[in-house]
Structure 1
């Protein structure tokens, strides 16, 4: 597929040792009482300590999924007419972002969703169709990231409070929060790769960045769908597509990327992040 990034191969594997040395920071994963289902591994009382389940109990429950082959599906308009739905659905785990739909787009993006990484700003969008996301799709794992002001757990975190209510209403749904320590880790990772302090440079990490880091934590191999390379938008003959495949009539993808890349405050550095992903492939995959 022309729109797919060429730098991640579905055939190549990387070991957990590679994961724990990224920028000299470690994520320790213990394997104990392991049960395997196909390419998905579920562990008991262990997992990735950067992702904690939102629950009413006092017990810390960490995200405990390990997949052999993952499909990371971009929300980009590059997915339109991709025809990769069947291929995506055949991989062990399918990772999507925010409220990106599958209904009506199955031929291009597939129908399965194993895990969905959600920005704090997209939580209200899920709630608009909560029956679909939290009842009909109850087998999907949700991982939500957001700043401390929205995700704090002292009763003042607005988004955390909303998610806590969802967890009470739909107890079978697994909703996890990205911990403050993991967000700080991602900030340091961005600075190590760019030489720029994220906050001082006015940048906000995108949902795609958190998704890529999580995929590297939980997957042996990653096939990315619909994500362009960092030089794509500078090519004279690049194709103009919607920023999101499910939103027509908005600013096209490359224009949106350039606006954010140049923003002095509050912009996602989409193009810079694509260059970082390319270096990840060379260094760690």
Structure 2
């Protein structure tokens, strides 16, 4: 016990010295933080020329190319692609088991049909759909695509009542106002979603800043029987390349509209695609943006110098590949060939 009485004062003095040294030492600097990834653009409040996706077009601009050449560009260089879980970061996250087993481009086989759908309707949300009386014709097609939260109830005479494919953007999937989890608009249909992404197809950055992926995962787990696809950025940016290559003007460095993406999707699935009021008919051309809600914005339908999407150039291209006659055009209907009917492409 005597040795304890001798050593305890020594230990107390030593501990006091250590604490004093610690108190006088400068604090350790905090660990360096990784620079945050730039957030995805939120929408039209950003200026169209901001180039937030670092778009750098390196292709050839050939506005003089033929209609056949444009169709071949769309068919071969902008092939329909969805996220299939084979690329990082999705492969590490188990998406190969999460995505639908039947690829979107082979959806017709999953429906027990031989070959492509024969005729398909792409129904725009334009205000020009009002008073069109096109509903019965739209419903007569094998497949009918609509966009975002566009309704049919109460508008059947003009827009029809059938929906088999619905293409939605990330806002519809993530914002509570659209009721994506509960609304009947998004049930008993094939869902196709998209979200803006880097032009260089950096999928890890896309996943890090995207809003689409968690709701997508949740819905696939809750309802694995419903076909639900996420468009690959390599699809919609190559569509953008085709649009840019068809004009010498610099188009907006942002992805195409949902409407243009939907047209390209259906051209990959169908032998013939009928597009309704994407290019407004002369008699019903209006500043009303959507047929189901109030709000005038002529740029929404016709594009403008401050457009976020390359709207004017999309519509110009679609008019170029229209194979319908003048009477259909006056009714607001464009007829486009499916890619399966475009032969002998040497691009």
- TM-score relative to the length of structure 2: 0.58
Structure 2 Cα separation of the partners of residues 27 and 219 of structure 1: 18
Unpaired runs of 5+ in structure 2? 1-67, 108-115, 324-335, 338-347
Structure 1 Cα separation of the partners of residues 223 and 123 of structure 2: 26
Q: Tell me if the contact between 2:169 and 2:194 (Cα under 8 Å) persists in the aligned partners.
A: yes
Q: Tell me if the contact between 1:27 and 1:49 (Cα under 8 Å) persists in the aligned partners.
A: no
CA RMSD, Structure 1 to Structure 2 (Å): 3.5
Structure 1 Cα separation of the partners of residues 160 and 211 of structure 2: 33
Task: Please state how far the C-alpha of 1:20 moved relative to its aligned partner.
Answer: 11
Q: Tell me if the contact between 1:23 and 1:192 (Cα under 8 Å) persists in the aligned partners.
A: no
Q: Is the counterpart of residue 219 in structure 1 residue 270 in structure 2?
A: yes
Which of 90, 94, 107 aligns to 2:144? It is: 94
Superposition map of 1:84-233 within 5 A: 84-124=134-174, 128-133=179-184, 138-148=187-197, 152=203, 156=208, 157-196=210-249, 198=251, 201-228=252-279
Partner deviation per Cα, 1:99-153 (whole Å, 9 max, x = no partner): 11112212211111111111223323585152234xx75331111122237x956
Structure 1 Cα separation of the partners of residues 296 and 315 of structure 2: 19
Task: Please state how far the C-alpha of 1:209 moved relative to its aligned partner.
Answer: 1.2
Task: Please state how far the C-alpha of 1:67 moved relative to its aligned partner.
Answer: 1.3
Task: Please state how far the C-alpha of 1:207 moved relative to its aligned partner.
Answer: 0.8
Structure 2 Cα separation of the partners of residues 139 and 280 of structure 1: 32
Task: Please state how far the C-alpha of 1:172 moved relative to its aligned partner.
Answer: 2.1
Superposition map of 1:70-81 within 5 A: 70-81=120-131
**Secondary structure at 1:273 match in 2:** helix
Aligned equivalent of 2:317: 276
Task: Please state how far the C-alpha of 1:27 moved relative to its aligned partner.
Answer: 7.3
Unpaired runs of 5+ in structure 1? 1-17, 29-47
Partner deviation per Cα, 1:227-248 (whole Å, 9 max, x = no partner): 225x95xxxx874352100112
**Secondary structure at 1:144 match in 2:** strand
**Secondary structure at 1:116 match in 2:** strand
Task: Please state how far the C-alpha of 1:75 moved relative to its aligned partner.
Answer: 0.2
Which structure features the higher share of strand residues?
1
Aligned equivalent of 1:42: none
Which of 243, 251, 256 aligns to 2:296? It is: 251
Q: Tell me if the contact between 1:94 and 1:114 (Cα under 8 Å) persists in the aligned partners.
A: yes
Task: Please state how far the C-alpha of 1:274 moved relative to its aligned partner.
Answer: 1.2
Task: Please state how far the C-alpha of 1:162 moved relative to its aligned partner.
Answer: 1.7
Task: Please state how far the C-alpha of 1:204 moved relative to its aligned partner.
Answer: 4.0
Aligned equivalent of 2:96: 58
Taking a change above 3 Å as real, the CA distance of residues 137 and 262 of structure 1, as seen in their structure-2 partners, is: closer
Q: Tell me if the contact between 2:129 and 2:158 (Cα under 8 Å) persists in the aligned partners.
A: yes
- TM-score relative to the length of structure 1: 0.69
Structure 1 Cα separation of the partners of residues 74 and 318 of structure 2: 17
Q: Tell me if the contact between 2:128 and 2:284 (Cα under 8 Å) persists in the aligned partners.
A: no
Taking a change above 3 Å as real, the CA distance of residues 255 and 214 of structure 1, as seen in their structure-2 partners, is: closer
Task: Please state how far the C-alpha of 1:171 moved relative to its aligned partner.
Answer: 2.1
Task: Please state how far the C-alpha of 1:86 moved relative to its aligned partner.
Answer: 1.9
Structure 2 Cα separation of the partners of residues 182 and 95 of structure 1: 18
Taking a change above 3 Å as real, the CA distance of residues 180 and 255 of structure 1, as seen in their structure-2 partners, is: closer
- Higher mean Cα deviation, 93-102 or 189-198? 189-198
Structure 2 Cα separation of the partners of residues 202 and 153 of structure 1: 21
